[in-house]
Structure 1
């Protein structure tokens, strides 16, 4: 058997390493909250390691825990490792404790489950459905709400079927929804955090010790230092040297200043600069103490004193001068500025009247200067602007169309974009339900399902889908508005796909975003083959059939064009694939996988060789770009030249930073990916646009440091060679390169030669 088709297995090295790291943090971290969280992770990783050792955990399977069906949400740790426990298990949640106390029930889940199925319990669930006053932390909490809806709809048979599936887990899983203020539909608006979450962050603001120390220095120690300086300046002679004369009463006044210093030092402890012996104020005070206590200042101390006085006067001017007065006035205003802690509470009060369970469409309008009423209530100056950092925190609950959030800088990455999409997808799912109560339940179930963490999977297995949940299946016949759902899903797919291409053109689509693309495609009835990024360290040497279908879509779009010429692709080979991938467990390899291997030309096996094969798959499929374009996603008003430029800028930026980055090979891979995106976008451009963009690329690269130009110049020459129809393999100039990210022989981008 080819080594790349080795028997599927997941080693214990990664979980053992995570266990050791969590254990170390639990023992040594200074923050008790961090230690507590690390202790919980330690126990969870211990269960993973133990389960792998005694084979009670089948890591790599979509049902890794014996007796736990796929629909049960597993507890999953970083890397996709199941711990063996259900996420809906564990101690009773607050809503369960409250329910048991309210009805005098035993504090166990089976008793709560039985109560929900009583007439009183079903009535309470129905009231939640109608009012929308619930929140689902996990999809299991939708099950009994679905039962209540089915009973009211007269579909008793479906309700009984559903109960027969979930009843065996009644004692273990939390099926009780959490009462919460109902979410208002926001009509296509998205937000990063709820108003409640943002208020909590604003109210938990702690004083920054450095800022507090600075404000104390400005308000207390600088004015005091000025007075000590003025006191010494009274002893200056005609040449400006201090400690030359002693005016009447000077010593007594000096003693008063020393006593005042002791009092200030005891009361104001945040700033400690005045205690440093080499600081000017410390030098002035030490000389003053010597003058008061001993009647004279020693020669060495006098030299330090005079140097400090001259330095202070030269830097800020004489106390009372225009320059000195203006500086101290500015510093006093800064010192009087309200703290972030106070302003955070002020902003929280502004947000308090808004619905707390969602974002706020008007959040941006709540960021004006402080009002006169707030000045009295919070002890802050009126007309004080809100600091940028607090503005940024508050805007996290801004609800707006996706493009508006991106334009406002609130969606900084494709990963954050992926976090926002489930809210839009949930609204599309809800469009299939004619009954508003059912629509709310469908949307809440979808959002909760998207909280489910992905499992590490082998053998071409796929993640569990929301339509595999038994309550989703039983509700599906009642979601009759299929066309509305399809239209809504397609609209969201185009919106999100367009945002990804327009705003993150040089970034690989993260797998959660790909999962949303796939779900939207299915809901829209498109059945498009969106493909996930595969991990090279667990790649089994085979691709599922959808990868071939994605490559075939790319072939229809790109065959014979710039992209195909640059990467040396003969798309005709794809259409002679001889059928789908082999059956699971077969030692054979599909023709598509063999094609990727031949193109990779890896010398052996291992992670680098697997990465080279995966990269060739991404080249052939364009890693979802062609599928998005096939679905109707376009570049927006600016055409494809804009994304091409931006993707190249991402690649060039990574290359420029290579000498400063640790683990540079991974960054080379990211740069090659961004470059591949740029080539795809350039393929979509007209001939004139291509030449114009390539000229811009040369100019952009030439403006970077020499090492970046040295690396990028061969890449650009390789593109230049095929721009007008050339063949990079046949007609390649000696200094032209085809930029690939993976190599099993050492990457040329990291060579000093």
Structure 2
């Protein structure tokens, strides 16, 4: 059944991008918005002309599925290939070096010459290359096949590439290969971290303005105040003018003009209502005659307030204050520390992470103190240390403990690197193992398409160069074992560190891919988008529900959510059950995203949204099921407590995420002993009792249902904590 995608969403995104491009104050943001607007214009034009089929796994006319499309927000293809566009710098350099025309046809032809194949073979053996797009592995695959004696396979691959070679970058990017210790990953490369640090180094305004105020304008204001206090008696300033006072005042005014021209970061002294501005205005008027009554009153008020706040210049109180401020001004600013840290990273391999990064986060050395003008032994600011730590290369567990991996979403970013390492075990030929590993990492960066009609994303084995190389893998069991170990490692990490978060879609896709590599018949299911849901589910949802039913039958989870002990589900009966449980009696594609969401949530309940799959594989939380339940339920309670009394539409995502955390907590609680269940439920009740009354009222029905389920009774449907609702959510109606 074809379900066309409306252009309304595209027009909305285009309008937003154009508005940002015209109105934002930051030039960089405006430029990025302009690029987004151009992309959305291409999407709109392609949809209107029929050259784009949004929702299809081959959305661009005349491009096969293996060509990586350029994809923007929401999974919309723009019509351009991601490996297309102008020549990359490394392609231009290759053309210059060999005296070739600056076009991809010439480069492609060169690669297939004897000289070109030899160069590709050297790259294969050294590993000194990087793949930004999967297509850049194609010619390396040709070279490997030829060396392996598979001439037919190489020719078949070339025949498939020929048509698209003029448009696609098939040239691998030369880059020195730096192997990291096995089992280590990094969130960002050294180059990416240095870019972030260099951006911080350019933000000199606020810290340097403060330093200027402390070292230039505060001391000058003290001298101007002291100058006026020379004239004061009990009636205030300007009671008398000592000899030479006017000449010294003129010198102060001249000094002010010089300082104002040289030091432009701090501008408070220019504001008429500020104390220093009043002192200077009074000084100008005094040098030309008598002060007006108004200015005399302002002068007295300014002088009195300055003395009351800091003491008289030269007094012990004033001296101590200025000494503290001088010490503060002497401290390095963030931009100075950012430059130092970037310099420490400069000699390191830029395309990799850093093992043992703590040595780079140490205080300022004596040599650095001389080079950067910073005090020796000064510690680097915590915020900059956090940025640099993102380049740490370490085992996954260590990165989580360090806070480098703060969420399941970030964990998903690291899985491709770990999965790529499993490819190293797919062949005894080091060159082939490196190529497959590099391709695995590049393919993982291929952005997902918006798909309809139960289609699935393109998989690696569909790419012609991977098909050609697959039959040469000679260590299949090693690869399967490595994939099984990794999927268990990831499952343990998810349950241990992020028990209150559902498995995000990028991680689901990685787990699904690993399960296939490990030849495990364990289904992983994505969170479906409510705005494009067609009312149907792929067969793996029914399989996931069968697996979950075996695990939760007769448990607290089953009693809480009212699950019947079905043993098997067919895809159609599974979808009908989800519709029925969501009170959608029509059981057909829906109009309201909220109503769609209620059906999708029932599918998540029936499948446990991958928790049962992880448990089936043997994954366990390191602290035990009771701790995982406690943390999940606490997370749900915390999110509900954060919803304001007059909660509204903007608070629905928080309610939804709280319901998902609650569901996970119920699942974990189901795996606890009866004694642990009572203890954790009592702890949750105590936590809720400490909340404001409106939060208690919102959570009381869910707690009652959980208590009933724990005591062996079915929970009433009306008390279930669900995230989706047709109409105002029950929790948000409370407190109004």
> In which range does the TM-score fall when normalised by the shorter chain?
over 0.9
Deviation at 1:324, TM superposition (A): 2.0
Is the CA contact 1:536–1:614 (under 8 Å) kept in the aligned structure 2?
yes
Paired residue for 1:3? Answer: none
Is the CA contact 2:211–2:329 (under 8 Å) kept in the aligned structure 1?
yes
For residues 664 and 312 of structure 1, the distance between their equivalents in structure 2, rounded to whole angstroms, comes to 47
Which of 609, 612, 631 does residue 646 from structure 1 map onto? 631
Paired residue for 1:499? Answer: 493
TM alignment of 1:183-582, pairs within 5 A: 183-204=178-199, 205-237=201-233, 239=234, 241-294=236-289, 296-572=290-566, 574-575=567-568, 577=569, 580-581=570-571
Paired residue for 1:9? Answer: 4
Deviation larger for 538-547 or 309-318: 309-318
Which of 104, 111, 114 does residue 109 from structure 2 map onto? 114
Once the two structures are superposed, residues 479-538 of structure 1 have per-residue CA deviations (whole angstroms, 9 ceiling, x without a partner) of 211121122112211222222222222222221110011111111121310000101111
Once the two structures are superposed, residues 287-338 of structure 1 have per-residue CA deviations (whole angstroms, 9 ceiling, x without a partner) of 22222221x3333323322222222222222223333222211211222223
Is the CA contact 1:181–1:356 (under 8 Å) kept in the aligned structure 2?
no
Once the two structures are superposed, residues 7-49 of structure 1 have per-residue CA deviations (whole angstroms, 9 ceiling, x without a partner) of 5221111111112222233334444444443333222212211
- Structure 1 residue 163 and structure 2 residue 158: aligned? yes
Paired residue for 1:601? Answer: 583
Deviation at 1:602, TM superposition (A): 3.0
- Structure 1 residue 97 and structure 2 residue 83: aligned? no
Deviation at 1:61, TM superposition (A): 0.9
For residues 181 and 465 of structure 2, the distance between their equivalents in structure 1, rounded to whole angstroms, comes to 25
For residues 262 and 705 of structure 1, the distance between their equivalents in structure 2, rounded to whole angstroms, comes to 58
Is the CA contact 2:633–2:684 (under 8 Å) kept in the aligned structure 1?
yes
Is the CA contact 1:100–1:106 (under 8 Å) kept in the aligned structure 2?
yes
- Structure 1 residue 744 and structure 2 residue 726: aligned? yes
- Structure 1 residue 144 and structure 2 residue 129: aligned? no
- Secondary structure in 2 aligned to 1:319? coil
Once the two structures are superposed, residues 664-719 of structure 1 have per-residue CA deviations (whole angstroms, 9 ceiling, x without a partner) of 22322221111111111111111111111112112222222332222112211221
For residues 286 and 565 of structure 2, the distance between their equivalents in structure 1, rounded to whole angstroms, comes to 92
Deviation larger for 526-535 or 659-668: 659-668
Deviation at 1:353, TM superposition (A): 2.6
Deviation at 1:417, TM superposition (A): 1.1
Which of 585, 600, 610 does residue 614 from structure 1 map onto? 600
- Structure 1 residue 154 and structure 2 residue 171: aligned? no
- Secondary structure in 2 aligned to 1:525? coil
For residues 328 and 213 of structure 1, the distance between their equivalents in structure 2, rounded to whole angstroms, comes to 17
Deviation at 1:220, TM superposition (A): 0.6
- Structure 1 residue 134 and structure 2 residue 129: aligned? yes
- Secondary structure in 2 aligned to 1:431? helix
Number of equivalenced pairs: 728
Deviation at 1:129, TM superposition (A): 0.8
For residues 706 and 268 of structure 1, the distance between their equivalents in structure 2, rounded to whole angstroms, comes to 55
Is the CA contact 2:512–2:523 (under 8 Å) kept in the aligned structure 1?
yes
- Secondary structure in 2 aligned to 1:222? helix
- Secondary structure in 1 aligned to 2:642? helix
Give the TM-score of the pair, scaled to structure 1. Answer: 0.94
Is the CA contact 2:626–2:680 (under 8 Å) kept in the aligned structure 1?
yes
For residues 574 and 585 of structure 2, the distance between their equivalents in structure 1, rounded to whole angstroms, comes to 19
Deviation larger for 62-71 or 736-745: 736-745
Deviation at 1:613, TM superposition (A): 0.8
Once the two structures are superposed, residues 612-659 of structure 1 have per-residue CA deviations (whole angstroms, 9 ceiling, x without a partner) of 1110000000100110011111011x2112222222222222212222
Paired residue for 1:672? Answer: 659
For residues 709 and 210 of structure 1, the distance between their equivalents in structure 2, rounded to whole angstroms, comes to 44
CA distance change for structure 1 residues 356 and 7 in 2, over 3 Å: closer, same or farther? Answer: closer
Is the CA contact 2:204–2:335 (under 8 Å) kept in the aligned structure 1?
no
For residues 392 and 261 of structure 1, the distance between their equivalents in structure 2, rounded to whole angstroms, comes to 41
- Secondary structure in 2 aligned to 1:83? strand
Paired residue for 2:650? Answer: 663
Paired residue for 1:585? Answer: none
For residues 374 and 209 of structure 1, the distance between their equivalents in structure 2, rounded to whole angstroms, comes to 23
Is the CA contact 1:97–1:107 (under 8 Å) kept in the aligned structure 2?
yes
For residues 414 and 47 of structure 1, the distance between their equivalents in structure 2, rounded to whole angstroms, comes to 33
